[in-house]
Amino acid sequence: MELDQFEAEAVAFLDRHATVKTDRRTAWGEGSDRVGLFEEKTREQELAELATAQAWRRQVFDAGFGWISGPAVYGGRGLSAEHERRWQAVQARYRVPSGTVFAIGLGMVAPTIVAHGTESAKQRYLRGLYRGDVVGCQLFSEPGAGSDLASLQTKAERDGDVWVINGQKVWTSGAQFSDIGEILCRTDPAVPKHKGITGFLVDMRAPGVEVRPLRQMTGGATFNEVFFTDVEVPDDHRLGDVNAGWGVALTTLMSERAAIGGGAASGASFGVGQLIELARHLGRQGDPLLRQQLADLWINIHVARITNLRAMEKLQAGQIPGPELSTAKLALTNNLQLISQFLSSALGARLIADSGEWGTYAWAELVLGVPGFRVAGGTDEVLRNIIGERVLGLPKEPRAVPS
């Protein structure tokens, strides 16, 4: 289909089912002043948002816009990456329900199924993931294996055509409403740790799966710890070969870092303009130190955005990005740290003491959320090692010698 014809079809669909965005700028002091990196919701709010998101996703998919560049055999439309980009550009002009609940399933789990899943898993899950019928989560980190993921201890033992899983995962976003999870398990403890891991797809409603919310210092509980007790997984839900799970993990992690680092938060979901408004409200718009901080922040956000666009262009063209994805997520956390430093400098005690003044103490929620981003998707320290060793070609970091 020609791009112009495709765009006309997309516009016609969105005109019927959505409304065009309008500039709804508000003056300082109007509306909610809440600013946070994580949307802290009640269970009822989560379920309501999920239902709205699923209804919209199904409508989009059934109209032919749910998986535009995906293979037709799995429910995709079989068009080009350029058609996908055109849809995203057109949809951005309309006000539609948030698709955040699908971010992990579509940004991490689905690409891994495409690359490593069995034919039956592809047929069973891909269409559902892209239509919104199936919500996915990622089950990698453990209490003793976060940054050192290869040290994971959750076990999967084979029993005929079934694998039995026992163990614990932690920091699992969206586990409370997910249908399936991508899990890494130790399947051979006798070989070097990177070589004894296997990936699986696990039913999050299966007997033996227990999800417990984790309360964060931001006040919400969007993450979870998940316990597995004799959970059975069919062998056709295995991802890749037995003990070849490290390659599966790398596929997912690259997709995760692209999704996190390349998202709106690479420049934060709010703009530098809001910080300038804050400086004006405080009467400090002429402060040379704050002006320099804002200039540094604007430059870093702009550079991160261009770098991320370069990586996304390569991915959508079927190429493998070079150092762009290695730096994307680290650039995000660096920019968030710069924002925190600016807020601390500008607000002082207003950041930690709620005086009731609009647009001041509200920023504390964002600042408290920044450390979470420095851990999620690979810690800053691990990413610096990756860039140093694999991009710059520096010697590997010395390993601890067992005593």
- For the annotated catalytic residues, the residue numbers are 256
Q: Which two tokens stand for residue 39?
A: 């949307």
Q: Supply the DSSP string of 90-154, one letter for each residue.
A: HHTTEE----GGGHHIIIIIHHHHHHH--HHHIIIIIHHHHHTSS-EEEE--BTTBSSSGGG---
Name the amino acid, one letter, at 262. G
**Residue 156 φ then ψ, to 5°:** -130, 120
Distance CA 299, CA 283 (A): 23
Report how far Cα 54 is from the mean position of its chain's Cα atoms: 18
* 233 contacts 200 by C-beta, under 8 angstroms: yes
Q: Which two tokens stand for residue 370?
A: 């920044």
Question: In the beta sheet, which residues pair with residue 210?
Answer: 227
Distance CA 7, CA 30 (A): 37
* 146 contacts 116 by C-beta, under 8 angstroms: no
